[in-house]
Amino acid sequence: MRVLRPAVFLDRDGTINEEVGYLTDVAVLRIYPFATDAIRLLRRAGFAVVVVTNQGGIARGLMTREFVEATHARMAATLARGGAHIEAWYYCPHHPASVIEGLSTPCVCRKPGTGMATDAASALGLDLSRSWVIGDHWRDVQMGQAVGARTILVRTGHGRDQEGARPDGQQVEAICDNLMAAVRVVLQS
Q: Which residues bind Mg ion (CB under 5 A)?
A: 11, 13-14, 136
Residue 13 binds which entry of Zn ion, Mg ion, none, CB below 5-8 Å type-dependent: Mg ion
Give me the residue whose beta carbon is nearest to Mg ion.
Answer: 14
Between residues 75 and 109, which has the closer beta carbon with respect to Zn ion?
Answer: 109
The dihedral over CA atoms of 62, 68, 74, 75, expressed in degrees to the nearest 10, equals: 100
Catalytic annotation present for 13: yes
The Cα–Cα gap between 187 and 189 comes to 6
Catalytic annotation present for 25: no
Q: Computed over its alpha carbons, how large is the radius of gyration of the chain?
A: 15
Residue 14 binds which entry of Mg ion, Zn ion, none, CB below 5-8 Å type-dependent: Mg ion
Between residues 14 and 113, which has the closer beta carbon with respect to Mg ion?
Answer: 14
Between residues 11 and 173, which has the closer beta carbon with respect to Mg ion?
Answer: 11
The dihedral over CA atoms of 35, 128, 120, 117, expressed in degrees to the nearest 10, equals: -80
Residue 11 binds which entry of Zn ion, Mg ion, none, CB below 5-8 Å type-dependent: Mg ion
Question: Least separation, in Å, of the C-beta of 98 and Zn ion?
Answer: 10
Residues interacting with Zn ion, by CB under 5 A? 92, 94, 107, 109-110
Residue 51, helix vs strand vs coil:
strand
Cis status, amide bond into 93, omega within 30 of 0: no
Contact assessment for residue 72 and residue 89, using Cβ atoms and an 8 Å cutoff: yes
Residues with catalytic roles: 11, 13
